[in-house]
Amino acid sequence: MAAFWHSFRITLRLISHNKVGFIGFLVVIFFVLMSFGGPLFIPLDRTTRVDQIYAPISLQHPLGTDFSGRDVWSHLVNGGREVMIVAFVAGAISTLIAISLGSLSALAGGRLDNAIMGLADIVLTIPTLPLLIVLAGLFHFNSILILALILGTLSWPSLSRAIRAQVLSLRERDFVEAARALDLGTGHIILREIIPNMASYLLVSLIFAMTAAVYAQVGLVFLGLVPLSGNNWGVMLQLAWTKGAIFYPKALPYIMAPVFAIALFQLALVFASRALEEIFNPRLRTGV
């Protein structure tokens, strides 16, 4: 227990070392708590109030109301969960595919290597957003998990290329040679020797894959091409846009709520990833 607290304190100190990164980290935690815990206390407001359309910011409505008088704050609190689940699942899927194909490609070499990299090349060539729009028509994306799955299976190629390059260079290092000389087996070499050495890189890549997934999913919803029922930041944005809220000065809090939420979340993820990178990669720590 004491050892745990010790390492916890060290981690905390390292995180707080990079101030911007630490703030990003806190903001991410805030958003996650808000989106997963908030709905328990603030239920989604579905009642139409004709007399309160685009009501200004008040104690009762901290972010004003929307085009049918519903509370914007409740929509914002309830709208983050889906976005985050899709981002995380898509990011995890693409990172997993990238790790397995990238390291397989590097270790197998030869024809398999060529085939995998050729596949990566082709997926990389197809313009992602147009393809997603076509796929959105194909799959209807009724469930957010299908959306996440498709986002994940489209975004692995560049990461898998990078992982292949890393594995290729790590493979030649002394400690891997030593492990091979000790006959520790390919599984051990990948999981115990190579992956831990790429941990920081993988974590940062996961976060970047998540931000890419947020970008793509909100973009698709905003264009009105994904008929996602329910409530999330993308749907809020799309409704605000199609209802013409941008041209209505009083609706400013309504349209800016999802914009700032998504932008801040993305920003916080990027900054937090930088702090994490420093924790895992001692060479990057400033002031050393």
Residues that bind other proteins (CB under 8 A): 20, 121-122, 125-127, 129-131, 133-135, 137-138, 140, 211, 214-215, 218-219, 222-223, 225, 237, 241, 246-247, 249, 252, 255-256, 259, 262-263, 266-267, 269-271
Between 60 and 143, name the residue whose CB sits nearer to other proteins.
143
Q: Which 3 state secondary structure label does DSSP give 224? A: coil
**Residue 182 half-sphere exposure toward CB, CA atoms < 13 A:** 10
Select 99 or 228, whichever has its Cβ closest to other proteins: 228
Give the C-alpha separation, 77 to 219, whole Å: 20
**Residue keyed to tokens 């997926």:** 123
C-beta of 194: minimal distance to other proteins in Å? 25
Residue in this structure with the two tokens 């041209």, named with its chain if needed:
247
Q: What angle do CA 15, 20, 24 make, to 5 degrees?
A: 75
Minimum distance of other proteins from residue 37's CB (angstroms)? 25
Q: How far is the CB of 245 from other proteins (least distance, A)?
A: 9
Tokens, residue 270: 């990027």
> How far apart are CB 134 and other proteins at their closest, in Å?
5
Residues whose CB falls within 8 Å of the CB of residue 172, separated by 6 or more in sequence, listed in order: none
Q: How far is the CB of 136 from other proteins (least distance, A)?
A: 9
Q: Whole-angstrom Cα distance, residue 9 to residue 213?
A: 32
Q: What is the DSSP letter of 53?
A: T
Quick one: 43 or 137, whose CB is closer to other proteins?
137
Residue 282 CB coordination number (10 Å): 10
At 50, which amino acid appears?
V
- Specify the residue, 86 or 194, whose C-beta has the smaller distance to other proteins: 86
Neighbours of 153 (CB within 10 A): 14
**For other proteins, which is the closer residue by CB, 12 or 126?**
126
Residue closer to other proteins (CB basis): 153 or 266:
266
User: Which residue from 208, 139, 197, 115 is spatially nearest to 163, judged by alpha carbons?
Assistant: 197
Minimum distance from residue 219 beta carbon to other proteins (Å): 5
CB-nearer residue toward other proteins: 55 or 240: 240
Q: Within a 10 A sphere around the Cβ of 249, how many other Cβ atoms? A: 8
- At its nearest, how many Å lie between other proteins and the CB of residue 57? 15
